[in-house]
Amino acid sequence: MKRILFLSLLCSPLLAADPVEADFYKITTFATPKETAMEVGSIDLMPDGKLALGTRRGEIWIISGAGSNDASNVSYKLFASGLHEVLGIAYNPKDKNLYATTRYEITRLKDTDNDGRADVFENVNDSWGVSGDYHEYAIGSRFDQAGDLWVTLCLTGSFSSAVPFRGWAVRIKPDGTMVPTCSGIRSPGGIGFDADGEAYYCDNQGPWHGSCTLQHLVPGSFQGHPGGNIWYDLAPNMGPRPIDPLPEAFQGGKGRKNKREGGDPDRMVTERERIKQLVPPAVYLVHGKIGNSASAIICDLSAGKFGPFSKQLFVADQSHSNLSRVYLETVNGIKQGVVIPFRSGFASGIIGGRMDEEGRVFVGGSDRGWGARGGKPFCFEKCEWTGKTPFELHEMHAKPDGFEVTFTQPIDPASAGDVKSYSMREFTYAYREEYGGDEVSEVLPKITAAKVAADGKSVRLTISPLTKGHIHELHLDGVRSAEKLPLLHKVGYYTLNEIPAK
């Protein structure tokens, strides 16, 4: 017996199971009121540690105690009901009211008699159209630094826009006026801001989208799906209507499995040169690998309380019931970056999410309509850092001849400095009208050098060739930490919209 114990102690660094996500980030599932299906569609923070939850069933719940270490301390109060699908909830610290983004309206909710239930429902703005089609979801943000609400408006179905501003992102100013802000939206799943206050949304695989994407909402830009561009006449502030991308799907009516002579003609990287308003996706959330149904965008502003990923973005997925992590940088004025798996195993499809100042990530959602891996029809959950730092790819920076990769912990110079510890694959998606698409135009580059930095926390990879516009899928299977541990997640997908000059 003693001998066995001794042996196992001796061998533990080698024999111990590899670390798992739950060692570093734990998920707590809250019980929800029996009288409702808490299909969370949106979450915002309120004063005194309270949360506001908007649901797909049109309810708004105010939650207390969700930050407590004891999940049984959570309590729920129904603030409002009967709204048309609350996929955006925003607390306004100026007037202390909640604002709900619903199917066809931003509603300001007031509790004038202070009984904990809303009694005044004011239309803040209802300028966009609604045709009755199920697909026309309206997904709203919390308030940005200017006091605006952003709303992304799903198209009528996948291809077209039956009523004004379907397929657009709009801003609602504090005075209630609407400013058309970006065209080219297809099927948004979530909207959020980075640490600098820049707005992003997630679009979903479909026409003009080979994969789900994280996209930078640059005011005045065209985000890629031309279906809603018929409304430029109603948006003089946006300037002239962009020229249409090439409707590749009409060229011969071939199915996407059919081979085309000379390959697929249309690429985001070439269409960007023709269509000046077109902003490429900041990050492709690679279909089937990162997720299938991208939703909430959560920025870590907790200054370390959520672990080592300060200011990075976390993107949720309804179908995969997971969170992925995104590090972004700006090259030649364009946002781009890497997405890395982060945490799977949420109970249902995640739709809404928000991090509080203490670094607690509150998420919730439902599997309704598309199915979700989590298995439960709906959920409200919390994801927290356990205090242990995982060995992870931390940041990935594009360089003229490769990438610089940083890590959350010191690396083992021998393995990290060996080019055989890495492999890379480059690919893209056709930018075309047809639904979805394969990973195409594969390039298998050579990794010619892997140079570990003097501080032992980063490595400089030299790669030949880099392909502008391609997703660069980096595998780091052989890299070990100084403690000889493998990476918790051994892959990152970098979308190389621009190759830096230096």
The residues of the shown chain that bind another protein, judged by CB under 8 A, are: 37, 56-58, 81-85, 102-105, 107-108, 112, 118-123, 126, 129-135, 162-163, 368-370
Q: Round to whole Å and give the CA distance between 440 and 449.
A: 26
Considering the complex, state which of residue 103 and residue 225 has its C-beta at the smaller distance from another protein. 103
Nearest to 43 by CA among 366, 349, 383, 361: 361
Considering the complex, state which of residue 133 and residue 404 has its C-beta at the smaller distance from another protein. 133
3 state DSSP class of 411: strand
Q: CB 225 → another protein: shortest distance, Å?
A: 19
List of E strands, 67-162: 75-80, 88-92, 97-102, 105-110, 120-125, 138-140, 149-153
Q: CB 114 → another protein: shortest distance, Å?
A: 14
Q: Round to whole Å and give the CA distance between 313 and 234.
A: 33
Supply the DSSP string of 172-198, one letter for each residue.
E-TTS-EEEEEE----EEEEEE-TT--
Q: CB 285 → another protein: shortest distance, Å?
A: 21
Considering the complex, state which of residue 130 and residue 246 has its C-beta at the smaller distance from another protein. 130
353: its two tokens: 């999410």
Q: CB 444 → another protein: shortest distance, Å?
A: 31
* DSSP at 457: S
Considering the complex, state which of residue 173 and residue 289 has its C-beta at the smaller distance from another protein. 173
Do 301 and 361 form a contact (C-beta atoms < 8 A)? no
Considering the complex, state which of residue 371 and residue 410 has its C-beta at the smaller distance from another protein. 371
Q: Count of residues for the chain? A: 502
Considering the complex, state which of residue 53 and residue 393 has its C-beta at the smaller distance from another protein. 53
Nearest to 191 by CA among 354, 12, 319: 354
408: its two tokens: 């959350």
Q: Round to whole Å and give the CA distance between 466 and 428.
A: 13
3 state DSSP class of 14: helix
Q: CB 163 → another protein: shortest distance, Å?
A: 6
Considering the complex, state which of residue 133 and residue 438 has its C-beta at the smaller distance from another protein. 133
Q: CB 248 → another protein: shortest distance, Å?
A: 23
Q: CB 113 → another protein: shortest distance, Å?
A: 9
